[in-house]
Amino acid sequence: MADERGAALLRGGVSSPRATFLELFFDLVFVFALTRVSQRIIDDLSATRQDLLAEIVQTLLIFLAFWAVWTFTAWVTSRYEPERPEIQFVVVYTMLGCLVMAVATPRAFDSRGLAFALAFVAVQVGRPLFLTLALRGHPRRLVTIRVASWAAMSAVPWVLGAVSTGPWRLACWSLAVVVDYAGLMFGWPVPRLGATRTSTWAVLGEHLAERYQQFFLIALGENILIIGLSFSGHSFSGVSSGAFLLSFVTTVLLWRIYFHRAGHLLTEAIRVARSPGRLGESASWTHLVIVAGVLATAVGYELAIVHPYQRTELSWAVFLMGGPAVFLLARARFEYEIFGRVSRSRIIGVFALAVLVPVATRTATVLALAAAATVLAAITVADYRRARGQAPELPHPAL
C-alpha cells in the first residue's frame, strides 16, 4: 500500500508534457532573482571597486546557487506528477525559499548572508526530505535519500560561511557550491547505496525541454527589465535612446539565434535520443552557460544606456563583448548536442567579439554595444541564408 501511494507521485502515461501554471508562477520569482544578480555586478562596476574580481566571483556563486535550485526543481516536475498536491507543495515551498534568497542577494556577502544561506539550505535539504517521506516505501526514495545526504553535507559550509565574514565567507560558500555541483555531476554517491546519475532518470523529455526554453526566456525577460529600468531612470538623450534601441535589438538577436533550428528541436532531440536523460543532463549544463552569457550581456546594456558617451573601460568591455561571446560558445555546444555539428558562424562570431575587446576600450560605450550587436546581426543573417530554401533539418543528437 505504501509503495502504491509513492508510485502515485510518479509521472504516468497520461501526464501532460506542458509546464503547469504553478511552474510558470514559480518562474516569476526568478525574473526578480536574476535582476538582483545582474544589479550586483552593475553596482560593482559603477563603483569601480578595487576588489572587482572578488565581487564578480561572489555574484557567480549566488547565480550558481539559484541555478541549482531551479534546475533540480525542473527535474523534479519532469520526474514526478506536478498536479499532485505533494509536488505542488514542493514547488511553492521552493518558490518561497528562492524569494528570500533573492531579497537577500544584494547584501548576501554583507548583512544578509545568514538569510541567504538558511533559505538555500532549507530548500535544498527540505525538498528531498519531504519527497523521501512522500514516496514512503517506493524504491525511488533511495534517490531522494542520496540527494538529501549531499545537501546536508553542503549545508555545513553554507552555514559556516554565513556566520563568517570577508574571505572566509567566500571560501566556505565556494566549497559549498563545489559540493552541490559535484553531487549533481556524479549522481550523489552514498556508501552502500551507490550513485544515481540524472542521465539514467526516466523523465518526460518534452516537459524538460520546455522548461529549459522557458528559463532562457526568463533570462531575456530580465534583460528587458534591465533595459527598461536603466532607460526610464535617466535622461532621454539622443545617445541614450540609441543605446536603449541597440539593447533591445541585441536581446531580439539573442532570442533569434537561440531558437534558430536547435532551440526549436530540443524536444524532438530528447525524444529520439538513445539516452534522453543524458541529453537532458547535458542540456542543463549548456543552458547554465547560455543564461550566464545573457545575464552578462544585460550588464553591458545598463553601462551603455547610463554612460553612453564615456570611454569604455576594460572591465566594461568584458561584459559588452564577453556576454555575447559566452552565449555564442554555449549556443555552439547546444547545436552540437542537437545536430552533432557546429556552424562556423558561431565560432567566427566568438573570435570577432574577442578581437573587439581591445578596440572597444578606445571608443564610447554605445559604440562598443553597437559593435557587439553587429556581430550578432551578422550571425543571424548567416543563419537565414544557410536555411533559405533548405528542408527543415532533423535532430541527430551527438550524445
172-176, 205-209, 319-323, 353-357: least confident range: 205-209
165: part of which helix (H) or strand (E)? none
Flag whether pLDDT at 14 surpasses 60.
Answer: no
Contact 336, 388 (CB under 8 A): no
Region 242-253: mean pLDDT is: 95
Flag whether pLDDT at 333 surpasses 80.
Answer: yes
- Tell me the per-residue pLDDT of 42-73, one tens digit each, with 9 for 90 and over: 887 766 556 778 888 999 999 999 999 999 89
* Pairwise CA distance, residues 253 & 230, whole Å: 20
**Predicted pLDDT of residue 11:** 65
Average pLDDT, the chain: 88
Grid cell 527543415 is found at 392
Q: Where are the domains of the chain?
A: 2-200, 205-387
For residue 58, which of 122, 113, 121, 125 has the smallest C-alpha distance?
113
Distance of CA 43 to the CA centre of its chain: 21
**Predicted pLDDT of residue 7:** 62
- Tell me the per-residue pLDDT of 24-37, one tens digit each, with 9 for 90 and over: 899 999 989 999 99
| CATH architecture assigned to 205-387 | Up-down Bundle (1.20)
- Helix, strand, coil shares of the chain as percentages rounded to 5? 80, 0, 20
CB-CB neighbours of 280 under 10 Å: 27
